[in-house]
């Protein structure tokens, strides 16, 4: 059995079909004449490389290479095991039970292990790419013919000669009648058939001269077009620089105006206070004494305490002030988790990360350049399983885990504040906060809890599949839940009614985000799909990643979007033009989660590290940057 292929058995194999050495399903089973036990041939060979014999792990009998013969009976039993076609399986991200779960949209065939290659070679549910363009989404093999009839990426047969026309199949056929490259069709054939210089006749010579003339004209036209484009690009760059200078000057002037206005207001206040003090000395004394007491009372509330953040003020996310052109640069790395990082949330001055090591860590981010960062200042321990989801509400961090519990942690005391054991009957894979309520998602169910005391307010059952992601609407009046081939919309106030359902064919939704304009779906098919937030009409697909879109993070204004993927990268998008800006590539594993605080982006990964990126004005490169 090829271990690199996804394999799920219809019925679990008998323990007698597992090698006693490697504990895996037999591969090339061979029986020892000396003891009568069966092992993988490769397991015995690897142990006999350095010595002439080995000891049987079951009865201590000596085994030699020449005492092994193929066990065809066991080989037949292994090959007769029934498995699911790999084109009917998808990864199970929660890693409970089987590594693979059944894809209801995929192949439903049960096939013999020994015949998997014959079946999967012709399986209609196999994933294939469009032969016309990589921009088309992957599809099942059985859908390819229908797709090709409706594909808008068919290329002209004269593409090798320089034609760049693309379109529907019928449009390509009509284009061929007038394609300017048809004129050189005969000439091209003549040029490629000239094997013998002496065999050139008059017709071929004329065709060759005509072909060279046409090619020279096209080269001249291309060169002129290139020069025109370069001139326009240069002009555009000059305009961008000039505009940037003007904007900076205006910002500088505005800052001076604000300072002057502030100075004038302060001067008027002092004049008014002086006049009042002259009229009533006792009143002035009382006013001065009261102000001083108030300042002395408030001052410690803004100080940082090493023992804990008992007087910390938490800032709400503000609209970013990022201006194009821009870039993000990696300025630091947080290390400390011993397991895969799966969830993050941020509220200044902290970032919270949850991982497979069952812990939640608190990272101090007051030092923006990260040179004197205090790093991890606290660890929340209390879960007995992987942390899969985090969210923040009203000064508390809410966490969900594979242990099925929902816990609340105080950010003032760094202590457990509240907890509900067995909050769901299965793993909790997603959380979302509306401020007043907490939404939790598990297999085929959503529960809604009152944030203040974790009282269960409502349960939504039979959602049909794993709830892997939530998104809160821009007005906090709707919550979106993502599952397989569907996104459900729910009201955020009692009685928490359904506000609609978006059905699609993108497969499982692994991440969700909502802005004022778009509902964004991060899916298994490596793409981010955009829908109109008001009408739920399909808008566009954002392509570029090579793995599952695990995390989506829009900026507060919705002007920019970060997408984190299984391909180890984060991409930054301009959501006004729907174009990529930058690729952040510093992780050595899947990017599973992200968090935003001010001008800093934090990314958590399978490599157990958190990368810290800082916003900078301007581009480091003329091309799409990879940092």
**pLDDT tens digits, residue range 232-282?**
876 776 676 567 556 656 765 676 687 778 778 877 776 666 555 545 444
Query: Tokens at residue 64, please?
Result: 């030699």
| DSSP run (H or E) holding 153 | none
In a domain, 258, yes or no: no
- 350: domain range? 326-617
Q: Are residues 375 and 438 in the same domain?
A: yes
- In the prediction, which pLDDT does 421 show? 95
Q: Is residue 550 part of a domain?
A: yes
Phi-psi region of 41 (alpha: psi -120 to 50; beta: other; left: phi over 0): alpha
State which of 104, 138, 168 marks the end of a domain. Answer: 168
My answer on whether 155 and 42 are in the same domain is no
- The answer to whether position 469 is within a domain reads yes
Same domain flag for 31 and 132: no
- For residues 24 and 59, state if they share a domain: yes
Longest dimension (CA), the chain: 119
Q: Do 158 and 14 belong to one domain?
A: no
Q: What pLDDT is stored for residue 291 in this prediction?
A: 34
Q: Under a CB-based contact definition with an 8 Å cutoff, are residues 578 and 570 in contact?
A: no
| pLDDT value of position 200 | 53
* Closest alpha carbon to 516 in 555, 467, 567: 555
Confidence at residue 576, expressed as pLDDT on a 0 to 100 scale? 93
CA distance 217 to 220: 5
- Identify the pLDDT of residue 613: 94
Residue 12 falls inside a structural domain: yes
Amino acid 294: pLDDT: 32
Q: Are residues 28 and 66 in the same domain?
A: yes
**Do 383 and 495 share a structural domain?**
yes
Which has the closest alpha carbon to 496: 454, 537, 447? 447
Pair 428, 405 in one domain: yes
CA 589 from chain center: how many Å? 12
Give the residue ranges of the chain where pLDDT is below 50: 185-186, 278, 280-313, 621-625
Q: What is the pLDDT of residue 488?
A: 95
For residues 55 and 143, state if they share a domain: no
- Examine residue 401 and state whether it is found in any structural domain, yes or no: yes
Q: Is residue 133 domain-shared with residue 115, that is, in the same domain?
A: no
Tokens of 190: 């003549």
Strands 29-32 and 68-70: antiparallel
Pick from 355, 444, 361, 453: nearest CA to 406:
453
Residues 114 and 82 in one domain: yes
Using the structure block, give the residue that is written with the tokens 């009143």: 283
Q: In 3D, which of 480, 574, 559, 555 has the Cα closest to residue 521?
A: 480
Whole-prediction pTM value?
0.53
Cis preceding-peptide flag for 598 (omega within 30 of 0): no
Residue 320 inside a domain? The answer is no
Distances (CA, A) of 264 to 254, 258, 268, 274, 275: 15, 10, 6, 15, 17
Quote the DSSP letter at residue 147.
H
The answer to whether position 252 is within a domain reads no
Write down which residue in 88, 104, 122 finishes a domain: 122
- What CATH number is given to the structural domain containing 490? 2.130.10.10
Domain boundary among 63, 92, 122: 122
Q: Could you give the number of structural domains in the chain?
A: 3
pLDDT tens across 294-312, in order? Answer: 333 333 333 333 334 434 4
40: domain CATH number? 3.30.40.10
């Amino acid at each position: 059995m090829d271990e690199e292929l996804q394999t799920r058995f219809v019925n679990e194999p008998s323990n007698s079909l597992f090698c006693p050495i490697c504990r895996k399903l037999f591969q090339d089973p061979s029986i020892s004449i000396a003891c009568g036990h069966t092992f993988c041939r490769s397991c015995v060979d690897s142990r006999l490389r350095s010595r002439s014999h080995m000891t049987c792990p079951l009865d201590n009998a000596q085994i030699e290479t020449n005492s092994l013969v193929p066990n065809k009976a066991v080989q037949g039993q292994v090959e007769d095991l029934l498995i699911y076609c790999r084109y009917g399986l998808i990864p199970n991200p929660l890693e409970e039970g089987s590594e693979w779960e059944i894809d209801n949209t995929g192949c439903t065939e049960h096939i013999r292990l020994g015949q998997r290659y014959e079946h999967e070679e012709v399986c209609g549910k196999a994933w294939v790419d469009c032969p016309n363009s990589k921009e088309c989404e992957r599809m099942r093999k059985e859908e390819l013919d229908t797709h090709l009839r409706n594909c808008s990426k068919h290329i002209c047969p004269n593409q090798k000669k320089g034609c760049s026309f693309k379109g529907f199949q019928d449009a390509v056929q009509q284009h061929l009648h007038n394609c300017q490259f048809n004129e050189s069709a005969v000439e091209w054939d003549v040029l490629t058939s000239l094997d013998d210089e002496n065999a050139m006749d008059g017709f071929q010579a004329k065709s060759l001269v005509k072909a060279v003339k046409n090619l020279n004209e096209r080269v001249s036209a291309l060169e002129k077009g290139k020069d025109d484009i370069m001139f326009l690009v240069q002009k555009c760059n000059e305009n961008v620089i000039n505009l940037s200078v003007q904007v900076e000057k205006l910002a500088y002037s505005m800052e001076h105006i604000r300072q002057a206005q502030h100075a004038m207001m302060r001067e008027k206040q002092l004049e008014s206070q002086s006049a009042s003090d002259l009229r009533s000395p006792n009143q002035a004394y009382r006013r001065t004494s009261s102000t001083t007491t108030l300042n002395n009372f408030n001052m410690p509330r803004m100080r940082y305490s090493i023992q804990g953040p008992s007087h910390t003020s938490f800032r709400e996310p503000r609209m970013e002030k990022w201006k194009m052109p821009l870039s993000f640069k990696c300025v630091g790395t947080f290390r400390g988790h011993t397991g895969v990082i799966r969830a993050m949330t941020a509220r200044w001055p902290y970032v919270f990360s949850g991982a497979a090591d069952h812990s939640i860590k608190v990272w101090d981010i007051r030092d923006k350049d990260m040179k004197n960062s205090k790093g991890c200042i606290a660890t929340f321990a209390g879960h007995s399983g992987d942390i899969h989801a985090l969210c923040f509400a009203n000064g508390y961090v809410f966490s969900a885990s594979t242990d099925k519990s929902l816990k609340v942690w105080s950010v003032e005391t760094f202590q457990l504040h509240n907890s509900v054991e067995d909050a769901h009957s299965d793993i909790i894979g997603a959380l979302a906060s509306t401020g007043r309520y907490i939404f939790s998602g598990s297999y085929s169910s959503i529960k809604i809890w009152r944030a203040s005391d974790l009282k269960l307010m409502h349960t939504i059952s039979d959602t049909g599949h794993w709830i892997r992601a939530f998104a809160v609407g821009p007005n906090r009046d709707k919550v979106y839940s993502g599952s397989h081939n569907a996104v459900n919309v729910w009201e955020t106030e009692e009685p928490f009614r359904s506000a609609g359902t978006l059905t699609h064919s993108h497969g499982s939704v692994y991440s969700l985000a909502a802005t004022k304009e778009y509902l964004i779906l991060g899916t298994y098919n490596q793409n981010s799909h955009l829908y109109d937030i008001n009408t739920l009409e399909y808008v566009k697909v954002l392509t570029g990643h090579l793995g599952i879109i695990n995390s989506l993070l829009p900026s507060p204004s919705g002007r920019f979007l970060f997408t984190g993927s299984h391909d180890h990268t984060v991409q930054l998008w301009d959501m006004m033009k729907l174009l990529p800006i930058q690729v952040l590539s510093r992780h050595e594993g899947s990017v599973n989660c992200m968090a935003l605080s001010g001008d800093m982006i934090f990314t958590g990964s399978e490599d157990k590290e958190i990368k810290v990126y800082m916003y900078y004005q301007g581009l480091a490169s003329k091309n799409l940057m990879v940092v």
